[in-house]
Structure 1
C-alpha cells in the first residue's frame, strides 16, 4: 500500500493546507480542493481509515468525516465526469443511510401485512 499511502498523505496535506489558509487568510479566495475517486467504498475508504488510525490523525481533529467533505465519487462503473455520474461522498453516505432505512421500513410494512401463519416463513 505504499503508493496509496503516498496518495493519502498528499490529499491530507492539501486539506490541511486549505484549512490553514482558510483560517489564516479570511479574505482568501483559495479554491476548496476536491478529489474524485473510483472504487471509494471498496478501496479508498478503508485505506483512509487505516491511514488515519495508524497516524493518530483523530487526535489532531482530522477524521474521515472531515476529509469526506472534499471527496467525490463516480456513481457507476463509468469513470466519466458528468451530471449523471458524479456524487459527493457526503451525499452518497446520506443516500445509503436513507436507502437502508427505507429497506427496513418496507420490510416492516411487508411483515405487518403477512398473515400470522406466514410470518415464520420469512426472515429479516
Structure 2
C-alpha cells in the first residue's frame, strides 16, 4: 500500500523559518530509518505558500492566484511517499517521527489510489 504522508504547515513554516540543526539531524536519522526499512520512496520539504501559486479551474477558465494562502493549517509544508503493508504500519512510523515543527504540528496520512482501484465499478 502506498501512502502520502503530509506534514501540515504552521505559522513558522509559512514564515520561512528553517528547522534547527537538532531537528534537521533528528529528521535525517528518521529518514535513514525509513530508507533502511524499505518504506520511503520520496520525501521533500516545501517552500512557504508565499512562493507558490494556485490555479483555479471553472470549465475552460483558469484563474491564477499568487500566494501566500490563508488557512495555514490546511497547507502542506512537506511530504513523504511511503510503501507500507497497511495503514497501521504507516501510523506506527509517524508515531516514531520527530515533531517536524518547533511547536504543535500535525501529520496527515492518505492512501494513494492504485490502478487496481479503477478496475472495479465505483461504489455509491
| TM-score, scaled to structure 2 | 0.32
When Rg is computed on C-alpha atoms for both structures, the one with the higher figure is: 1
Q: Flag the structure with higher helix content.
A: 1
| TM-score, scaled to structure 1 | 0.32
